[in-house]
Amino acid sequence: MSVLVKNILRFVLLILVQVFVLDKIHLHQMVTPYIYMLFILWMPFQLGRMWQMILAFALGFALDSFRHNPGFHASACVLIAYLRPFFINVLIPQEGADTNYDEPSIKSMGGFFPYLVYTGLLIIVHHGWLFMLEAWQIGNVWYFIIKTFFSAIISLLLIVITELLFNRKQQFKTNTV
Amino acid sequence: MRNIFLFIRRYSNFIFFLLLQGFCVYLIVHYNRYQNAVTTAYMTELTGKVNTQYDRVEDFFHLKNENKRLATENERLRNLLRQNFESPDTINKIVTDSIPSDTLGTHRKWLYKMAKVVANSVTSQENYVELGRGSNQQMKKNIGVVDANNAVVGIITDVSENFSVAMSLLHKDSHLSGKLLKGGEIGTLNWDGKTPNIVSLVGIPKSAKVAKGDTVITSGYSNAFPQGMKIGYVYSVVSDKTTNNYLIEIKTAADFYNLQYVYAIDNLQKEELNNLMDKVKKQNQ
């Protein structure tokens, strides 16, 4: 399965799961679990940053279209797609890891903890940005913080479970091509 | 130019990110009613503030014209004020006196004619009171003028069509006769031109009993004033060493600093009296 097909499938599946499964779940009025960002988190290392942003926009826009209020998720996704390389550069264990592996994962990030930090940070940024856009004005700060925190925790749990369920086999690419 | 291209190339990702975010924000604001309402309200507030500031600055530059406009408007309004339309007074105050009149009604002696004081001075040596009533309003020469409280002011000396001038008591050449109310001694009122509202009464003999505060009234011997108009009150009494008279200073009853309305007192029998005097003088010649 080529990278392109894999990603297309991932895109479609994640959006479908998000829209038809997770959006139906109302844990609490404050908390909606989000999993569709996995597409952005798992995008290949080698993809150009512009392409990453465009794909992220497309993903967010797709979800927004299902929810009939465009803009929110597209904006949040573009933001984390823009920030992703910085986090990867900081958290990647050794030089050249991003050339040895295809995409971010526990193995390629060099352990569970860095990968958790990477995922958690991006999720918190995504949720925070999203809720800020939904509020659209500086109002109840505590409410905003708590909402972001709890939603991020739930989403992170989901994502970690998904990660454990669908164990992606990351091959170590030798550069002796 | 090259630097601009370099800048764009270097920050292309960030610029692209900003473009995408801008597009997202546009979508949010355009398609979501709540965000749209909040944004519109906020922008309205903001532009309102900016416009207010701009308006202040603009106002500052318009101040000069605004002042000019206000000044002209003030001028226009002031010209509408009633006090600027000073028509000559035509009111006659009827004073009923005890003289019984026949059916012809010719026995009236004094007729009061109200007049507004147009100009008045106290500071010069020769003070005049200008009145807004002239010959068109039955004003005559040589009739007395009193203020609202029947206190003597002066005598009309000149009359034009709509104005008249009265020689004030405070005039070097004013020589009215005054009478002490208590004793009835008669003297002449002079003004030395120094202190307004203080005139001197000369010709009162030392035999008279004069005290401070005594009232001085008109004698009634002149044709100008009826008898008993207040002139003033004795202010100080000094016995003159060289003559047989007192030097009496009188505070005038009329306040020459503050004259608003006065009455000219027309003597309706003056002509008859004058004719009689002329006749007598002719016979004696």
Q: What is the C-alpha to C-alpha distance for residues A4 and A161, in angstroms, rounded to an integer?
A: 24
Q: How confident is the model at residue A54 (pLDDT cuts 50, 70, 90)?
A: very high
- The pTM for the full model equals 0.51
For residues B146 and B262, is the Cβ–Cβ distance under 8 A?
Answer: yes
Q: Is residue B34 less than 8 Å (CB to CB) from chain A?
A: yes
Q: How confident is the model at residue A12 (pLDDT cuts 50, 70, 90)?
A: very high
Mutation test of the interface with chain A: which of B14, B23, B28, choosing the one with the most A Cβ atoms within 10 A? B28
Show Cβ contacts of residue B224 under 8 Å, excluding neighbours closer than 6 positions.
B142, B143, B144, B155, B176, B265, B267
Q: How much is the pLDDT for B51?
A: 81
A-side interface with B, Cβ within 8 Å? 49-50, 53-54, 57, 60, 64, 69-72, 74-75, 78-79, 82, 133, 136-137
pLDDT, tens digit (0-9, with 9 covering 90-100), for B57-100: 877 887 888 888 888 787 777 777 665 565 666 777 666 555 55
For residues A31 and A151, is the Cβ–Cβ distance under 8 A?
Answer: yes
Q: How much is the pLDDT for A127?
A: 92
pLDDT, tens digit (0-9, with 9 covering 90-100), for A25-45: 777 776 788 899 999 998 988
**Which chain B residues have a beta carbon less than 8 Å from that of A63?**
none
Chain-chain contact of B20 with A50 (C-beta, under 8 angstroms)? no
Choose among B13, B31, B32: nearest Cβ to A50: B13
For residues B257 and B197, is the Cβ–Cβ distance under 8 A?
Answer: yes
pLDDT, tens digit (0-9, with 9 covering 90-100), for A101-110: 778 888 788 7
Q: Is residue B24 less than 8 Å (CB to CB) from chain A?
A: yes
**Which chain A residues have a beta carbon less than 8 Å from that of B25?**
71, 75
B239 by DSSP, 3-state: which?
Answer: strand
Q: How much is the pLDDT for B85?
A: 62
Q: How much is the pLDDT for A77?
A: 94
3-state SS string for chain A: CCHHHHHHHHHHHHHHHHHHCHHHCCCCCCCCCCCCCHHHHCCCCCCCHHHHHHHHHHHHHHHHHHHCCCCHHHHHHHHHHHHHHHHHHHHCCCCCHHHHCCCCCCCCCCCHHHHHHHHHHHHHHHHHHHHHHHHCCCCCHHHHHHHHHHHHHHHHHHHHHHHHHCCCCCCCCCCCC
Count of A-B CB contacts under 8 Å: 55
Choose among A49, A70, A78: nearest Cβ to B21: A78
Q: Name the residue of chain B whose CA is nearest to A58's CA.
A: B20
Q: State the DSSP code for B285.
A: -
**Which chain A residues have a beta carbon less than 8 Å from that of B32?**
69, 71
